[in-house]
Chain A
Amino acid sequence: MAKYRPLATALLRQLILVAVVPFFVTAAFFVWQLYPELAQNSADQHQVLAKVLANESELYIRGAEEQIDSLEDFLADLPETHNDEFLRKRLDRFVQNSNHFDAIYFVDTSASITHISIHGADQAAITALYSGVDMSLTPLYQKRGKLIKSGWSNAFLSVVTGRLSIAYMVLIDSREGRKKLVAELAIDRLSKLSNHLAESDYLVMILDQSAQLISHPNPDFSQQQINLSNLPFFQKTAQQDLASSRFQLDGIEYFGTVLSMDTPRWYVVVAQSEKAFTASLYTILEKWLVAIVVAVLLALWMAYRRSLAFSKRFHVLNELATEVALGRYTHSKLEIEIQEFRELSENLITMAKAIEDRENVLQAKEQQLRNTLEKAPNVAVQWYDEFGTVVYWNDASEKIFGYAREDAMGLTLDKLMFDAAATAKFGATLKNVVLKKGSDHDFNLPFRHKLGGKGKILGAVFSISSQDGKALLVSMSTDITKQSNAEESIRKLNSELEARVELRTSDLKATNNELNETLDTLNNTVTQLVHSEKLAALGSLVAGVAHELNTPIGNALMAATSLSDFARDIDAKFRDGSMAKSTFEQFLSDAQSAAGITYRNLEKASELISSFKHVAVDQSSSQRRQFHLSELVNEVLMTLHPQTKLQAIDIDVCISPYIELDSYPGPLGQVISNLVMNAFVHAFCQDERTEERGSGEQGRVEIHAQQEKLQVVLAVKDNGSGISDDALNKIFDPFYTSRLGKGGSGLGLHIVHNIVEEVLGGQIKVDSKLEHGTSFTISIPLVSPYN
C-alpha cells in the first residue's frame, strides 16, 4: 500500500535533490577535471623548478670545478723549480679555504696518493697516514678497464675522510708523468646545496649516475648511500631528460620531477610531499567544500522554508475545499501569487458556487417534489415502513381521512381510517410490494373518516429505497367516494336505459319511414321537373328550329318566286319577240342569282334541319356514340343561333377538330347549350346583349377545349358580370336562380352538374369574379363510363 507523505516532505525531498545535484556535479568536476589539471599544473611547476634547480646545481658544481680548474691552471703554470713543499702549502691553503672540498690530493701514475691535504687536519699527520694509499680500486678508476680521466666520480666511501664522497679529478702533466689532481667533496656538503636550493615545502635531491642519493636536505640521508633507481621516474628518465611521478621515500609520499644534468651526469629531483602538494588542493577543496556546504545548507533551509510555504498554500486551498464540503460556499478570492493556485482557488470558489446553485436547484426541486406530495389536493400520499406504520402523511391525507399528521405518524392504519379487513388487505398489498410479487400493488378499500363518514379510496403502493436500506413504501390514493356513488347511479340508470332506447328506436323508425317517403316524392318531382325541363328545352329547341328555318326557307321561297317571275317575264318577252340579248343576259344573271339564293338558303335549311335532327335525336335519347367535339359544339351553336344572333356578343370557339369522344352527345350537347345560354342570359345585361357595350370590352363567350391525356377539358368563359361568392355555392343547387320570376327554372346548372358528373363521368368547376366574368370548366373522360 502506498505511503502518503505530506507535501512539504515530498517537496523538500525534491528540493534537496535539486540542491544537492550541483554539489555532485561540482564534486565530479573537481575530481575528474580540476584535480588532474591542478596535478598537471603542479607537475609543470615542478618541472620548471627542477630545471631552475638543476641549473643552480650545475652552477654550484661548475663553481666547484672552476676552483679546481683555476688551481690546475695555477699549478700548470708553475715553473718546475717549485718543490713539493710549495705544492703542499698550496694544496693546504686551497683546501682550508675551500668551501666545497674536504680533501685534495695528487694521485700519481701508479695510483698512489701523493701530496694530500685534508680540511681541518694537520697536514703532517695525514701525509704520513695517507701518502701512498692505493686508489686504483676506487671508483676514481672505473672498473671494466676504463680509466676515469677527469671529471666527477660516483659516490664512494673515501679512505682519506671516511665519509661518503664524490671526487673531482683533473689531469696534470708533470715531470713525473701524468698526475691526477683529486679534490674530494663530502656528500653531506651537497646537503647544504639541497637545503639552499629547496624552498619551504620542496625537496631537492641530487643523485649520482647510478641513482645513488648524494644530496638531500637531511645530511644523514646523503650519507646512507640510498639508491633510488627503483623509483618510477627512473624508468622514464631512460627515455627522456625530464620525468614526473609519485614516489615514496622514508615513509612519505612525494610527487616529484627528475631532471638529468649534463655534467656530471647526475640527476636533480625536485619533489613536493603529497601532503604539501595536495595541501594547496586541500585549501581549494576546503574553501570549495565550505562554500558548497554553506550553499547546500542554505539551499536546504530555503527548500525547507519554501516547502512549508508552498504546502501552506495547499492548506489554504484545503480549508477552502473543506468549507465547501461543509456547505459554506461564500468565499472571497484568495490572495495567492502563483497563477495555478490562484486558478485553482478561483475554480474551487466557482465550483462552490456551482455546488451551491445546484444544491439550491436541488433543494428547490426537492421542495417542489415535496410540495407536490404535500400539496396535492386530492392525492393522499403516505409513507409506510414494512409493518404498515405511518412515517409520512401529506396534507391531502389529512383532508381525506380527517387525521392530522401529528396524530397519524407512527400509527398503523387500523388505528386510523381502516377497519380490520381493510387493514389486512392493505398489509397484504404492502407485503406483496416488499416481496416484489409482481403486479399486486393496487388497492381499493373502504375507509372511515375521522368524523365518521364512510368513503372509498383507490390507490397503489410502491417501494422506494430509503437511505438506510430498509423498505420504504409509498401509498398514493385518491378519494373515490363520489365516483363510487356515481357508479352506483350509473348502474341503476343503465338498467333503465334499455327500455327507453327501445321506445326511441321505434319512434325513430317511424320518422325514418316518413322521411324516406318524402324523399322518394321529392326525387320523383325532380325527375319530372327535369323531364319537363327537357321537354321545355326541346320545345324551345323546336321553336328555335322553326324560327331558324323560317328565314332560309322564306328567302328561298322569295328567290324562287322571283325566279318564277323572271321566267314569266322572259317568256312573255320571248313570246312577243321583245327579248333583246341584253334582256336575256339580264334574265340569265337574275336567274342565276335567284337560283343561287334559293340553293344557298335551302342548303342552309337542310343543314339546320340536320343539325336539329341530331340535337333532337340526341336530346331525346341518350344514345352513345363516337363523335368529334368540335362538330357537336358547332351543331349546338347552330341550334342556338336564333337566340344568339339577337345579341351583340361574340362567340369564340377554339376546339381542336381532332378531339374525339366516345360518349353521350345528347347530354353533352345539353350541357353546352345550357352553359352558353346561361352566359347569354345572366352574364350580360339587356343593353349589352342587344347593343354594343358602351364601355370597354366586347362581350364575349369563349368555348375552348383541350385534350389532356384521356380527358378533355372544356371551358365556357364569359367576360360578363360574374357571380357573387355566395351564389357560387348555390348555382348547382336545384331551383336556384337569380332570375326568379323572370322565367328561369333554376334547374339548368343542376342538370348540367348532374349530366357532367353522372352521365359523362366528369367534373365541373366554376370560377367567377364579379364584374370580370365567369368560367365553367368541365373535365370529362374521352370515353365516358358505361352506365
Chain B
Amino acid sequence: MIKLNGFSVARRLALTLSLCMVISSCSETEPWRFGFVGGLSGRISDLGGPARNGMLLAVEEINALGGIDGRQVEAVIKDDQQNPELAKTAVQQLLAQSVDVIIGPVTSSMAVSVVDLANQAETLMMGVTVTTNDLSGKNDFFLRTLSATAVHAAEVADYVYDVLGIRSFSVVYDLKNKSYSQGWANDFSHKFKAKGGLSKQVLGFESGQPEELPKIATRLLEGGPEMVLFVTNSVDAALLAKLVRSQNESVTIGTSEWAGTERLVEMGGKYVEGAIVPQYLDRESQEPAYLVFLESYRKRFNQEPGFPGMIAYNVTKTVISTLLEHPNAKALKQNILNTGRFPSVQGELIFDEFGDARSKTYITMVKDGKFKVQVEL
C-alpha cells in the first residue's frame, strides 16, 4: 500500500475536482420540486395554461432571488387534458419524482379524482381553481384555495335576483367537470329558488361534441327564461352565447367563474357583450401588488393572467413563503395552516383549520370586450 504524502493528496483532490468539472454535472444540491397538474391542452387550456404560467412566474421569481434555503425550485409540469385517468397518471408521476408539493389541479373533477393519491403519499396538493364542495371540511392533504362553489354560486344567485331583478333562469353544465359544474348549478339554483326565483331548464352535456350545442341552445331558451347560465368552459360558453344570441337577442347571458377568462371574450366576440361573468379576482384592481404582478406576467408570457394565473401565482407564493420560513417539505401543510393568512396580489389568502380558503366574488359584465366589475361580493 502506497502512502501518499500531503502533496500527493492535494493532487488527488485536484484530480477529482477537475474530473468533476470535466464530467460537468457535478450534482448540485437537490432542488425543490414543485409539481403542477392541470389541463394544458384543449378546451380547458385557458385555465391550465395561465395557471401553470402563474406558478412558473412565482417559481422563476424565487429562483432569481437565490431559491429557497439555497436550493433552486424546479417546476415539474404535467398535463391531465381534463381526463381523470390522465390526471391520476400525472399525479403518480409527480409523486414518483418526490415532488415537495403539487400545485393543481385546475378543475374540481380532476381534483376529486387525484386527491386520494395525494393523501396516500402525504404530499400537499394545493388546488388552483378548484371550488368543489366535495372536498370541503376535510382534514386531508388537499388545500382548497378558493371558496367552495356553494359560496360563490350563492352569491351570484343573490346578485342576479337582487340586483338584476331576474326571476327565471335556465342553466347548462358540463358533465365532464361535474363535481364543480353540477355543484355550482345546484347551489345557484338552490339559492335562487330559495329567494323565490324560478328554474326553467337544468341541462347537462358533455363538452367536446360541439355539434350538440345548437340543440342545447335551443332547449335552454325553452320556457323563456330571463337568463341563461353556462356552467362550462370558455369555448363552450362562447359558442353557446353565439347560438343563444342568434336566437334571442334579449335574454341575459351569464356564466360561472369557470368561463371567466379572456378567451371567452376573444371567442365570444359580440355575442358575449353584456354577459354577466363572476370572477375570482378584481380585474380592475389598482393594488400595486396586483399591477406589478400583471406587468410581470404580461411581460413574461405575453398574455393576460386571468384568474387562473393570479390564483396559481398566489398559491405558489404561499407555498414559497412558508418554505422560506420553514424549509421542510414534510411539515409544509401544517406550517401553512399554522400561519393561516397569506398576502396575495389582491388582499389575502386565508385558510381555515381544514385548509379551506375563503375568496371573494367579483361580478363583472362584459363591456366592449372587457370584464367590467359591477360589484364586489
- Interface set of A (CB-CB < 8 Å, partner B): 9, 12-13, 16-17, 20, 23-24, 27-28, 30-31, 35, 111, 121-122, 125-126, 128-130, 132-139, 156-157, 159, 162-164, 210-212, 220, 223-227, 229-230, 250-251, 253, 274, 278, 282, 285
Contacts and interface: CB of A to CB of B under 8 A. Distances in A.
B312 to A, nearest CB: 14
Nearest to A227: B301
Given A24-B18, A134-B271, A159-B238, A210 B302 contact: yes
A285 B23 contact: yes
B369 A137 contact: yes
B211 A211 contact: no
Contact of A224 (B79, B242, B246, B271): B79
B25 interface: yes
Contacts of A250: 76-77
Contact of A129 (B211, B268, B301): B211
B239 A229 contact: no
Contacts of A30: 22
Given A157-B45, A285-B23, A9 B15 contact: no
A227 B269 contact: no
Interface of B: 2, 4-5, 8, 11, 14-15, 18-19, 21-25, 40-43, 45-46, 48-49, 52-53, 60, 74, 76-77, 79, 81, 208, 210-211, 213-214, 234-235, 238-239, 242-243, 246, 263, 265-271, 300-303, 369
19 contacts: A13-B4, A24-B14, A30-B22, A133-B269, A135-B269, A137-B266, A137-B369, A139-B266, A157-B266, A162-B210, A164-B45, A220-B41, A223-B45, A223-B79, A225-B303, A227-B300, A227-B301, A229-B302, A253-B25
A775 B328 CA distance: 147
Contact of B41 (A31, A35, A223, A274): A223
Nearest to B302: A210
A133 B242 contact: yes
A20 B11 contact: yes
Nearest to B75: A251
Contacts of A111: 269
B367 to A, nearest CB: 13
Nearest to B301: A227
B77 A129 contact: no
B269 A134 contact: yes
A227 B302 contact: yes
B369 A251 contact: no
B25 A274 contact: yes
Given A111-B269, A137-B265, A16 B242 contact: no
B22 A223 contact: no
A728 B297 CA distance: 155
A133 B267 CA distance: 8
B267 A138 contact: yes
Contact of A278 (B24, B48, B53, B268): B24
Contacts of B303: 210, 225, 227
B43 A162 contact: yes
A162 B263 CA distance: 11
B22 A27 contact: yes
B48 A230 contact: no
A111 B242 CA distance: 14
Contacts of B21: 31
A230 B81 CA distance: 25
Contact of B270 (A31, A134, A229, A285): A134
B300 A136 contact: no
A35 B208 CA distance: 52
A451 to B, nearest CB: 79
A134 B373 CA distance: 23
A138 B25 CA distance: 45
Contacts of A224: 40-41, 45, 48-49, 52, 77, 79
B242 A227 contact: no
B7 to A, nearest CB: 9
B46 to A, nearest CB: 6
B8 A159 contact: no
Contact of A126 (B14, B211, B238, B242): B211
A225 B45 contact: yes
B15 A229 contact: no
A223 B300 contact: no
Given A138-B267, A157-B263, A129 B41 contact: no
Given A220-B40, A224-B52, A278-B24, A137 B269 contact: yes
Contacts of A31: 18, 21-22
Nearest to B217: A129
B15 A27 contact: yes
Given A12-B2, A24-B18, A223 B242 contact: no
B219 to A, nearest CB: 15
B53 to A, nearest CB: 7
A125 B53 contact: no
Q: Among the interface residues A129, A163, A250, which one has the most CB atoms of the partner chain B within 10 A?
A: A129
A17 B2 CA distance: 13
Contacts of A16: 2, 8
A153 B268 CA distance: 18
A23 B15 CA distance: 9
Contacts of A253: 25
Given A157-B263, A251-B76, A211 B302 contact: yes
A30 to B, nearest CB: 6
A125 B239 CA distance: 13
A133 B237 CA distance: 12
A130 B267 CA distance: 11
A134 B268 contact: yes
Contacts of B22: 27, 30-31, 35, 285
A250 B33 CA distance: 12
Given A35-B22, A227-B301, 13 more contacts: A13-B2, A28-B18, A31-B18, A126-B210, A129-B243, A132-B246, A137-B267, A137-B268, A157-B266, A223-B45, A225-B303, A229-B301, A278-B24
A170 B23 CA distance: 53
B8 A13 contact: yes
B242 A132 contact: yes
Nearest to A138: B266
A28 B243 CA distance: 71
Nearest to A211: B302
A284 to B, nearest CB: 10
A439 B303 CA distance: 125
B330 to A, nearest CB: 22
